Amino acid sequence: MRTIVETDVAVIGGGVTGVGVLRDLALRGIRALLIEQGDLGHGTSTRNHGLLHSGCRYAVRDPEAAAESYHENLIIKRTVPGSIEKTGGLFVKLPEDEDGYASNWLASCRSLGIPVSEVPLAEAFAAEPLLNKRAEAVYAVPDAAVDDFTLLVDVAADAVRRGAQMLTYHRVRQLLVQNARVTGLVCRDEASGEETEVRASIVVNAAGPWEKQIAELAGLPFTLINNKGMLVVFNRRFNHRVINRLRMPGDGDIFVPAHDVTIFGTTGINVEDPDDTSLERAELEGMLAIGRALIPTIDQLRIIRAYSGSRPLYQVDSVADGGSGRNVTRGMALIDHEERDGLGGIVSITGGKLTTFRLMAEKTVDLVCAKLGSSASCQTADVAVAGRRTQRFETSRQLSPAARTKLGSWAGLHAPDIAKQLNDKAGAQTICECEQVTWAEIQAALPPDGHFRLGDIRRRTRLGMGPCQGTFCQFRAAALAVKHRKVTAEAACRSLQRALAERKKGMAVVATGETAKQLQLMEAIYRVSLGLKEEEEIAHV
């Protein structure tokens, strides 16, 4: 027995592009359903720098992408305020960086209208003490830090509030084709195995690195380069503004301050498998060697974790560039398969950047509307997503001061729900001390489908993202979930085993010094003291 759902537009992919499309459709009053194989944003959308580009990075190589980025930078700051920290950014020219590039860059930024101002060196060094004192010139740009986790869930939640629907942990198995038209799709609930048939007038393929696989379900040729980049998280936020290197974009030249940490990256290696998020020590070492130019003390700073994600880069022709992937456009590609391949009812949107997700959605939905015969216009540049600041917890005496501060800038629309949970003594208990996550917050983040997954909770609350990488809090959260009858002990242990393997993966590659110690402590506690054996993990995962 298959459930049959009818909608106007089916959106495949719960990354930032997919949820952007979903919200745009909802704001135009078009029925839409999003299908995602895992949790929202388990892919590229949360595996990046968290940088809201000012466009300056692309000013020389790709002025069009630069202009788009700056335009969107201003819109996103206004329309998703809860996920943006207006840190500003710096571009730093070192003696070894080409003079010619810097002058071209400056001229291009000016002609694009991106506000760039030179910062006196003494002022830059005072503001950013770890910056290389050999810097020759420093320019301030309107870069910002974006929390991609909150951005994604907030945009998705706003779409749902406006009537859109979502099916997460549903994998698309089949595209339904009739008379040279895609008429819908079949997806399967990864937990129960149950299938759902989605009938839609248009299918939007926004699956990111998995886009080629989706296209191939309908026999559509699709050339996509998945370009994997590695990033690392430092244990503290050592820069106030985003620090970029003023040269032709390359590896290891961006440091982004994010909440209490700094994120540094990245690299670019083409990979076949979109699920390839492997991490190599050699890649890390290479990146650190480059990063040393901007932050000479980089080797003395503690890295708590590494991760990687793939940029889906679209190629117009099917000839591989054979290069790094950095020469392929960072711009977006919207493909009308009816026009290109003679198959109606499906469009693909790929390429682009986190910064330009809204614009990608707008262009996609414009095309969808044209096909549906709708004249509704885009509203996402004007209608804001609810922010996250709240004064509701300023007087919550049962909370520790740090937890109070966190909720004040984090709770957003969950505030009433969290406040209700805080009435119970157990709700105010701090579960994750690194990130000050209370049980009330975890409860508010539990999905309505009844599935307990520590990874989903982490993406919504920052549980386990701090220096101890979930050593204490993941166990506490799992045990409390059993106590509160949210999950069985067996499923809780399974989720713990998965979370442990996932945390270990990101720690192992950077495990020197204190992080090596932390990883051993985590393993000793779980594998030895708590008796959660590794063999069982292999059996379950």
Partner 1 sequence: MYDCAVIGEGLSGLLTAIWLREEGRTVALAASGTGKIVQSSGLFDLIPGSDAGMERWMQLHQLDDAAPGHLEAAVDRFKATAKAAACPYAGDALHAATVISGSGRLKKTGLYPVSVLPVSGAEKITVVGFDGLTDFQPAFVAANLGRDLPHADVKHMSIDLGLQTQRTLTQLDIARQLDDDEALRQRIMTVLSEKPTSAGADLLVFPSALGVHSWRDLMTGIGTPMTEAAGLPPNAAAFRLYRGLRQLAVRLGVRFYLDATVFAADDEGGRVTSVRYRSGGREQALAADNFVLATGGVLGGGLEMLAGACRETALGLTVDGFGRPLETPANVWTTGAACGLQETIYGITGGMYNLLSVYRTVGAVMRMKEGSVSHA
The CA distance from 266 to 253, in Å, is 7
Q: Candidates 43-51, 188-196, 215-223, 427-435 — which segment interacts with partner 1 by CB under 8 A? A: 427-435
If the CB atoms of residues 199 and 527 are measured against partner 1, the closer one turns out to be 527
Beta strands in 352-448 (DSSP E): 430-432, 437-438
Q: Does 525 bind partner 1 (CB under 8 A)?
A: yes
Q: Is position 399 an interface residue for partner 1 (rule: CB under 8 A)?
A: yes
Q: How far is the CB of 517 from partner 1 (least distance, A)?
A: 6
DSSP helix/strand/coil, 227: strand
Min separation Cβ 425 and partner 1, Å = 8
Nearer Cβ to partner 1 (151/509): 509
Q: Out of 278, 398, 405, 409, point to the residue binding partner 1 (CB under 8 A).
A: 398
| Dihedral sign, Cα of residue 351, residue 242, residue 234, residue 496 | negative
Nearest to partner 1 of 213, 400 (CB atom)? 400
From candidates 433, 451, 501, 505, binder to partner 1 by CB under 8 A: 433
H or E element at residue 224: strand 224-234
Strand order in the sheet with 170-178: 3-6, 195-199, 181-189, 170-178
Q: Does 301 bind partner 1 (CB under 8 A)?
A: no
- Asked if 322 interacts with partner 1 (CB under 8 A), we say no
In angstroms, give the least distance from the CB of 476 to partner 1: 5
Should residue 528 be labelled a site residue for partner 1 when binding is judged by CB under 8 A?
yes
- Smallest CA-to-CA distance from 325 within 336, 310, 340 is with 310
Instruction: Show the site string, 465-504: x = touches partner 1 by CB under 8 A, - = not.
Output: -------x--xx-xxx-xx----xxx-xx-----------
Closest distance of CB 404 from partner 1, Å = 10
The least CB distance from residue 483 to partner 1, in Å, is: 4
Query: Any contact of residue 179 with partner 1 (CB under 8 A)?
Result: no
How many angstroms separate the CA atoms of 455 and 460, rounded? 9
Determine if 430 is a binding residue for partner 1 (CB under 8 A).
yes
> Which residue stretch of 28-36, 145-153, 450-458, 508-516 sits at the interface with partner 1 (rule: CB under 8 A)?
508-516
Identify the H or E element spanning 243: strand 242-245
Residue choice 329, 400, 405, 409 for contact with partner 1 (CB under 8 A): 400
What is the number of alpha carbons within 13 Å of residue 189 lying toward its C-beta? Answer: 12
Candidate list 431, 434, 465, 500; residue touching partner 1; CB under 8 A: 431
Q: How far apart are CA 184 and CA 170, in angstroms?
A: 15
Please state, in angstroms and rounded to a whole number, the distance separating the CA atoms of residues 152 and 39: 11
Bridge partners for 336 per DSSP: 347
- DSSP labels, 253-308: -EEEEETTEEEEE---EEES-TT-----HHHHHHHHHHHTTT-TTGGGSPEEEEEE
Q: How far is CA 535 from CA 494, 497, 520, 531, in A?
A: 12, 10, 18, 11
When asked if residue 539 is in the footprint of partner 1 (CB under 8 A), the reply is no
Q: How far is the CB of 440 from partner 1 (least distance, A)?
A: 13
Does residue 540 interact with partner 1 by CB under 8 A?
no
Spatial separation of the C-alpha atoms in residues 69 and 326, rounded to whole Å: 17
Tell me whether residue 164 or residue 428 sits nearer to partner 1 (CB atom).
Answer: 428
Helix axis angle, 99-112 to 63-79, nearest 10°:
60
Q: Which residues bind partner 1 (CB under 8 A)?
A: 281, 285, 398-400, 425, 428-431, 433, 472, 475-476, 478-480, 482-483, 488-490, 492-493, 511-513, 516-517, 519-521, 523-525, 527-534
